[in-house]
Structure 1
Amino acid sequence: MYTNNSEERKFLYAKLYFTGVIVDADSNGFDWFGNDERGKLERIIKESKFTDLICELVHIFKDGLPNYYELSSLFSMKYEIVQGFLISRYGLETSLKEKEEFERRFGKGKAGMDNGNKIICRVENIERKDQDISKIEMDIDIECLKINDLYLFVKEIPDLNELKTNLEAKFDDIDISVGKKLIIKDKTYRIIVLEDLK
């Protein structure tokens, strides 16, 4: 399923503007509208079996640090920053000053930054043929906007031991742990599969 067209997948790793500067100047303004690889990847994300999807995500992270809004848009066009919007726009220092001013004017707890200084992106209305994922959340690093943790909330938990076995057969250099959730861990990211208990 995985295709190693890393040159054609540059759109996934486009760099973000952060506090007025480009985080990494190596983006070259990649145009994804005419990119056939984007369409192929979108079909894989939407039509593949769950195990193949997880393998594809591991490959994506192994190739680099994906841009959170590019990865989000492959699953659904309904994604938003649900925590840390100011941080994602202005950086931590400016955001803390803005928070103080906002709370001085409107009251403590009104700035939406009370769950720690982090950014959380939520993706809903997941466009998957099997309708197995109810939502996705991404914990995003406040320093460089990379995805630290990718949470896949599934409607029904699959056989996690079988999933672990399949992943271990394909990857020998990642940590996989199973409990009530499956955690795939590498040096720079984690992918967590857990049941949506809402």
Structure 2
Amino acid sequence: MYTNNNEERKFLYAKPYFSGVIVDTDSNGFDWFGNDERGQLGRILKVSNFTDLICELVHLFKEGLPNYYELSSLFSMEYEIVQGYLISRYGIETARREKEEFERRFGKGKAGMDNGDKIICRVENVERKDQDISKIEMDIDIECLKINDLYIFVNEVPDLNELKTIIEEKFDDINITVGNELIVKDKTYRIIVLEENKKTTD
């Protein structure tokens, strides 16, 4: 575990883009087929026990901000944007124009586009050997497409205090709170472990 190397795992940190326009221009090209890091990381996320999975995710986020669709695809190829699809594809301004044009032609409220402050990407058929995760959701910033919150919905809540202790033993400078859910918080993201249907709005 923790074999992450930005050179070998560049695909995970590729900058997201709106309709072919890269959001962050500080982006280098990456080689999809130059090594087997994608396959190795996918196997780690699928077969590791739950504690090791969370530690691996914390490590991945400490190394940089993962691209949401690259991270989603490591859990399952069946992921979807359930809020803000047009925004995720075209950017907020173009999406608003598309919505206005659609509603001009077909009627108010017919576009079905949410102009909220985030995009939500969901993985419902999570490919895990232990089948311990019911779904994963990512709350994504509409301006820069970074993952703000990564929600891990579990079928059965593990001992969160024990999980907190293990994470703290492995990582320095990390803020973890435990209540009905476990929240790993850094300046730029949160990883939240909670039971299905217990997602909070704060």
Query: TM-score, normalised on structure 2?
Result: 0.90
Cα distance in 2 for partners of 1:196, 1:110 equals 31
Q: Does structure 1 conserve the Cα–Cα contact (< 8 Å) formed by 2:83 and 2:114?
A: no
Cα offsets for 1:26-82 (capped at 9, x unmatched): 433312234211121111100101111111101111111110111011100101111
Equivalent runs, 1:14-163 vs 2, <5 Å: 14-18=14-18, 20-114=20-114, 116-163=116-163
Matched residue of 1:143: which SS? coil
Change (3 A) 1:178 1:112: farther
Aligned counterparts of 1:102 and 1:190: Cα–Cα separation in 2: 35
SS at match of 1:3: coil
CA–CA distance in 1 between the matches of 2:180 and 2:32? Answer: 38
Amino acid at match of 2:24: D
**1:11 aligns to 2:6 (yes or no):** no
Percent sequence identity is: 84
Q: Deviations over 1:137-179 (max 9, x none)?
A: 1111111111111111111111111111111111231111111
Partner Cα distance (1:129, 1:144) in 2: 33
CA contact (8 A) 2:134 2:154 kept: yes
SS in 1 for 2:97: helix
| Pairs aligned (count) | 198
CA distance in 1, matches of 2:28, 2:157: 40
Which structure 2 residue ranges, 5 or more long, are not aligned?
none
Aligned residue in 2 for 1:195 = 195
CA contact (8 A) 1:140 1:147 kept: yes
Where does structure 1 lack aligned partners over 5 or more consecutive residues?
A: none
In the TM superposition, what is the alpha-carbon distance from 1:115 to its structure 2 partner? Answer: 6.6
* Equivalent-residue separation in structure 1 for 2:136 and 2:101 (angstroms): 32
Cα shift at 1:110: 3.1
Deviation at 1:109, TM superposition (A): 3.4
Partner of 1:174: 174
Distance 2:175 2:109 in 1: 38
**Deviant stretches of 4+, over 4 Å:** none
1:93–1:51 distance in 2 versus 1, CA, 3 Å: same
Moved more, 158-167 or 16-25: 16-25
Work out the CA distance in 2 between the residues paired with 1:125 and 1:54. Answer: 18
Aligned-residue Cα RMSD (Å) equals 1.8
